[in-house]
Structure 1
Amino acid sequence: MPCPQMSRRLFSCALGMTAASVALPRIAIAQGDKPLQIIVGYPPGGSTDAFARLISVPLQQVMNRTVVVRNQPGAGGQLGASALLREGRDGSAVLAINQPDLNLAIARGNAGFKGTDFRVMMADLHEPRVFLVKNDSGIRDFVDFVNQAKANPGKLSISVAGGTAQEVLAKWLVDTLKIDVLVVNYKGGAESANALLAGDVTANLGDDFVRSVLRPKTTALFIGSDRKSPRWDEAQTLQSQLAKLGHSMPSPNFLSRYGVYVVSAEFVKKNPSGYQALQEAFLKARSGPVMTDYIQKNNLTDMSLGLPGEQFENVFSSEMREIERINK
């Protein structure tokens, strides 16, 4: 996801601290002196890439081991996931990706891998979806949007980044609410946001923090979470808006973006102690001052997780079932 302002600061911080490595006791992880790769499933410059580069600095210090961040974008995360399975069987590679993007890559069924090939080691951040219209749209809230869609079939439209969870959520809303609204796919998040500003679509479905740069020109009709967002104080939760329409979400944060770090399930099975040590290293790096200071300074506390991936297994598995149902 494009997030140029955030990533620029992150890169500067990461690059500036790399030279100041501190020798700490080595965490034994059975790969000897082999560098640890963080494979980012997206192009450089997005928030996932930026946070991977930021955490690599304290991680290198915690492990006393070289950490290399590399980008392997393409096919909605499929190429990065495939690279992990090829190169991470011994735990020397970790995939930085978003859920539910990994679930979507699996659900497409053409990538040659399945859900049981992966283990989510750490959930880093949670970013809900936000539904935006231009300030002069005249649409008061999401219930009003739905009522206008029913009164004017085929006239309203929603822009999304095609092939992503944004598209899946938009189609789920259209299907669930039985409204005739056009979901328009764009190449990426920036293009879909620009389509709203240009007046080419009625609404845009994007990500809460990333879309905050549009704050002066747009109004949020809902936050796709069970909690309100400090960046969009006018927006009600999608859960509350759907309740007024007689519907509910499959889960409180359905299809929100979770930044996650993933390892090969084969590595976990063959070397459980190595997996535990690697997970502990990531959690320690994540809880250190480099990450926590940045999160506080940039008002990301409400999105911050830094928790073991096992705590989110039920969330991701329930979303996978819903994705498979939608894709049928």
Structure 2
Amino acid sequence: MTFRTAFSSASILLSMALASVGVCGFAQAQSQPPIKILVGAPAGGTTDTMARALAQMLGTQLGRTVVVENRPGAGGNLAADAVAKATPDGNTLLMSFTSHAINASLYPSLPFDPVKDFTPLTMVSTLPSLLVAHPKVPANNVKELIALAKAKPGQMNFAIGALGSSLHMAGDAFKMKSGAYIVNIPYRGTAPAVQDLLAGQVDLMFAAVGNVQSHIKAGKLKALGVTSTKRLPAYPDVPTIGESLPGYESSAWFGLFGPARMSPELVRRLADAARVAVQSPEVRRRIENEGATPVGNSPEEFSRFVESEILRWRVVVQYAGAKPE
């Protein structure tokens, strides 16, 4: 046997061995069930969009298939309950939102504990909203609005897209801090609320940027303030509400949770993969297209944040006397 023949034979055997290892590894990965991210909101909404923006890149980081499953209902509680009761093996996760903290006080009894039954992994993003008014409202900023509402108690109103939502609570937090009496007008969904606002049937609304930006541009609505602590780059001339009402802030947030009792190693692996995914250019771009800001903090930071949010919204829910739909 010549050296060339022997070398070729050895190369073929080595290639076959490496291929065998690769096939086995691939087969092992394929034999694992997909990781499911449950979303307690309908497809097409912001929470669903955040989950789908994250899923593919998270799967790439973990070498697993990640799918999104929508389980809307009860303000996100149906999906949360399923994750709370899931096996803590990392195969069932939850993309939740601000209502996770609000529901702790809004619902008189829950089938799960919003803190003890979950493992916070990372906050994916935050999303501020805008306080918008119909052009007929004779106020062009938050200071003028508060003065007007106090001069006409109970004569102005807020359109509420969903009772108990973060936007509902944003309005009640505004009333609590300002001392203004503004009536809530509930709707079954954001779309009909925006339509009545455009028609001048209602005066005011807290709305996600994406739901009203075209109407602001067209002059059909006017933006009075933004709920975040900093002005939005897209609206540099719109002050934060906190500039006129110190201490006011109310941004929606979206975060990834697992069930409780996950091993520390699994928590770290999932959290690290999620944070890398959130900071990837593709995912950042999709999040920013929603008007949101990518975050990607640690499990410890996210856990402290969730607990502080539960306490913060409890005060607002008690003030408003809010009830779930």
Q: Name the TM tier (shorter chain).
A: 0.7 to 0.9
2:301 aligned residue: 311
Q: Which residue of 2 aligns with 1:148?
A: 148
Q: Deviations over 1:263-314 (max 9, x none)?
A: 11222xxx11011111112122222342134456x385x7222333432444
The alpha-carbon distance between structure 1 residues 40 and 293, as it changes in their structure 2 partners (threshold 3 A), is same
Q: Output one character per residue of 1:8-41: Cα deviation in whole Å (capped at 9) or x when no partner.
A: xxxxxxxxxxxxxxx9xx8xxx9x8122001011
Question: Paired residue for 1:226, among 229, 241, 248?
Answer: 229
SS of aligned partner of 2:59: helix
Query: How has the CA–CA distance of structure 1 residues 65 and 85 changed in structure 2, closer, same or farther, with 3 Å as cutoff?
Result: same
Consecutive unaligned residues of structure 2, counting only runs of 5 or more, are: 1-21, 319-325
From 234, 239, 256, the equivalent of 1:236 is 239
Distance 1:202 1:60 in 2: 45
Give the CA deviation at 1:88.
4.5
Does residue 63 (structure 1) correspond to residue 24 (structure 2)? The answer is no
User: Which of 317, 324, 327 is the equivalent residue of 2:317?
Assistant: 327
Distance 1:279 1:326, change over 3 A: same
Q: For 1:255, which of 250, 256, 262 is the aligned residue?
A: 250
Letter in 2 for 1:258: W
Q: Please name the residue that 1:76 is paired with.
A: 75
Q: TM-score, normalised by structure 2?
A: 0.81
| 1:306 alignment partner, SS class | coil
Question: Which amino acid letter does the alignment assign opposite residue 46 of structure 1?
Answer: G
Structure 1 unaligned segments of length 5 or more: list them: 1-22
Q: CA RMSD in A?
A: 2.6
Does the C-alpha gap of structure 1 residues 96 and 74 become closer, same or farther in structure 2, counting only changes over 3 Å? same
Letter in 2 for 1:194: Q
Paired residue secondary structure (1:146): helix
Provide the rounded CA distance (Å) in 2 between the counterparts of 1:167 and 1:88: 34
Equivalents in 1 of 2:186, 2:111: separation in Å? 25
Query: Distance between the aligned counterparts of 2:132 and 2:179, measured in 1?
Result: 20
Distance 1:109 1:276, change over 3 A: farther
Tell me the SS of whatever aligns to 2:231: coil
**Hey, what's the Cα distance between the residues in 1 that align with 2:285 and 2:176?**
42
Match of 1:208 in 2: 209
Contact 1:122–1:261 (8 Å) recurs in 2: yes
Relative to structure 1, the CA distance from residue 235 to residue 324 in structure 2 (aligned partners, 3 Å threshold; closer, same or farther) is same
Q: Deviations over 1:156-214 (max 9, x none)?
A: 10112222122122122223322221012222222222221121111111223443233
Higher radius of gyration, 1 or 2: 2
Flag the 1:170–1:299 CA change in 2: closer, same or farther, 3 A. closer
Structure 1 residue 102: Cα displacement: 0.2
Q: Percent identity?
A: 24
- Counterpart position of 1:128: 128
Corresponding position of 1:53: 52
Instruction: Please state how far the C-alpha of 1:221 moved relative to its aligned partner.
Output: 0.9
Query: Measured at CA, do residues 299 and 65 of structure 1 come closer, stay the same or move farther in structure 2, by a change above 3 Å?
Result: closer
Distance 2:213 2:311 in 1: 31
- 1:12 alignment partner in structure 2: none
Q: Is the 8 A contact 1:209 1:231 kept in 2?
A: no
Q: Contact 2:224/2:238 (CA < 8 Å) preserved in 1?
A: yes
Residue matched to 2:266? 274
Assess if the C-alpha contact under 8 Å between 2:36 and 2:67 holds in 1. Answer: yes
SS of equivalent to 1:131: strand
| Distance in 1 of aligned mates of 2:59 and 2:184 | 43
Query: Could you tell me whether the CA contact under 8 Å between 1:42 and 1:49 is conserved in 2?
Result: yes
CA distance in 2, matches of 1:208, 1:299: 8
Hey, what's the Cα distance between the residues in 2 that align with 1:303 and 1:46?
16
In structure 2, what is the equivalent of residue 290 of structure 1?
282
Task: Measure the CA separation in 1 of the matches of 2:287 and 2:78.
Answer: 29
